[in-house]
Amino acid sequence: MVLLWASAMFGFSTDTFSKDNTAHVIVPALQWLLPYVSYATIDFLHVYIRKSAHVFEYAMLSLLLFRAVRAPRAGWRLNWAATALILATAFAASDEIHQVFVPSRGPSIYDVMLDTAAAATMQCVIWLWLRRTMHTRAEAAPHFPHDTPAA
Stretch 41-48: mean pLDDT? 95
* Dist CA 119 CA 65 (whole Å): 10
What are the residues whose beta carbons fall under 8 Å from the beta carbon of 88, sequence distance 6 or more? Answer: 58, 61, 62, 65, 115, 116, 119
Q: What is the pLDDT of residue 142?
A: 65
What pTM was estimated for this model as a whole? 0.83
pLDDT digits (tens, 9 = 90+) for 50-103: 999 999 999 999 999 999 999 888 889 999 999 999 999 999 999 999 989 888
Which percentage of the chain shows pLDDT scores above 90?
Answer: 67
For residue 19, pLDDT over 70 is answered with: yes
pLDDT interval class at 14 (50, 70, 90): confident
Domain segments of the chain: what residues? 2-140
* Dist CA 119 CA 98 (whole Å): 19
pLDDT interval class at 138 (50, 70, 90): low
